[in-house]
Structure 1
């Protein structure tokens, strides 16, 4: 049985990833700071920054669903990811990161990111910048079996679960309807699929509704 831990499992994406994994027969541990409000069979009640290598020992994968939104906490995208990478360093445990769309490239030369385009909302630029920095730092890690999963540009927390998605790479990709959109529920399917059958080690992948 596949054994995973979901960090920040009480969040919107974390809860759905936990549910998807449990429904698929995974043995799931929720890592939460307070009460466990997920469907996970087990829980580690601990702050992310207090996690140790022993806490995460033996899992097939650890999903990082941590998010920070306020100006004073945005740097934690880098510090939290570094902490998880450090305690998983040299192990066979995969680190699957719930990423952002702002760092997806919009040109084949990979010189312009979505966050750099004129229509990208100013209000989201600080978040996109912080997440892009964390990804750039993660790319330098050769000691961790990481995979960074970017959602589509329109990432809908309450969107429907269609059960279908399209897997892409580093570039922003539109679906057949000309949209860059995915629900949290379909994104959760992609995360669990990557753990179950994917092998994008040391890569950033992206998903859009099919």
Structure 2
């Protein structure tokens, strides 16, 4: 039986490291995509910045997990540009793109006019991040050339399990 092959982009981050660890435990052949020294639990590594990846880097994987995160006002637009770059690389391939997103963009009504981030209990400090990730998701929804899945962890998700 063929082992599943998966790449985790931004594998050194909190979510990325946990994803790599759990996938390796399950016998999945995992490749970490990192900018610097690999701190994940796999020995298979592509040492390259996400924005420097080319189609050949992601060829042959059954799935690519996007664990990219940006947190500062000046880097928030990279949620859209990084996702567009990954989509362009995987366009027309059979590789599944799994995006670790955020709960703020989830709709809370049947008309899809209100989102979690619009609620009175949503932390004001996270509104810019949620808006940026929501915009990236809106752009992703327009892509018909990529097999994608958007994962929305809970608002209080903590990659360290705490």
- State the TM-score, normalizing by the size of structure 1: 0.75
- Residue in structure 2 matched with residue 113 of structure 1 by the alignment: 115
- Residue in structure 2 matched with residue 51 of structure 1 by the alignment: 53
Q: Which is strand-richer, 1 or 2?
A: 1
SS of the residue 1:141 aligns to: coil
Equivalent residues in 2 for 1:54-73 (5 A)? 54-73=56-75
Count of equivalent residues: 160
- Residue in structure 1 matched with residue 77 of structure 2 by the alignment: 75
Q: Which is helix-richer, 1 or 2?
A: 2
What 5-or-longer segments of structure 2 have no aligned partner? Answer: none
SS of the residue 1:43 aligns to: strand
Equivalent residues in 2 for 1:17-32 (5 A)? 17-32=19-34
Query: For residues 39-86 of structure 1, what are the alpha-carbon distances to aligned partners after superposition, in whole Å with 9 as ceiling and x for unaligned?
Result: 113000000000000000010000000000000000000000000000
Superposition deviation, residue 108 in structure 1:
2.2
Superposition deviation, residue 107 in structure 1:
1.4
- Residue in structure 2 matched with residue 88 of structure 1 by the alignment: 90
* 8 Å Cα contact 2:14-2:160 kept in structure 1: no
Superposition deviation, residue 157 in structure 1:
2.9
Query: For residues 9-46 of structure 1, what are the alpha-carbon distances to aligned partners after superposition, in whole Å with 9 as ceiling and x for unaligned?
Result: 00000001001110100110000000111111300000
- Residue in structure 1 matched with residue 36 of structure 2 by the alignment: 34
SS of the residue 2:74 aligns to: coil
2-side partners of 1:158 and 1:12: how far apart? Answer: 7
Superposition deviation, residue 6 in structure 1:
0.2
Superposition deviation, residue 121 in structure 1:
1.2
- Residue in structure 2 matched with residue 154 of structure 1 by the alignment: 156
SS of the residue 2:99 aligns to: strand
What 5-or-longer segments of structure 1 have no aligned partner? Answer: 161-210
- Residue in structure 2 matched with residue 98 of structure 1 by the alignment: 100
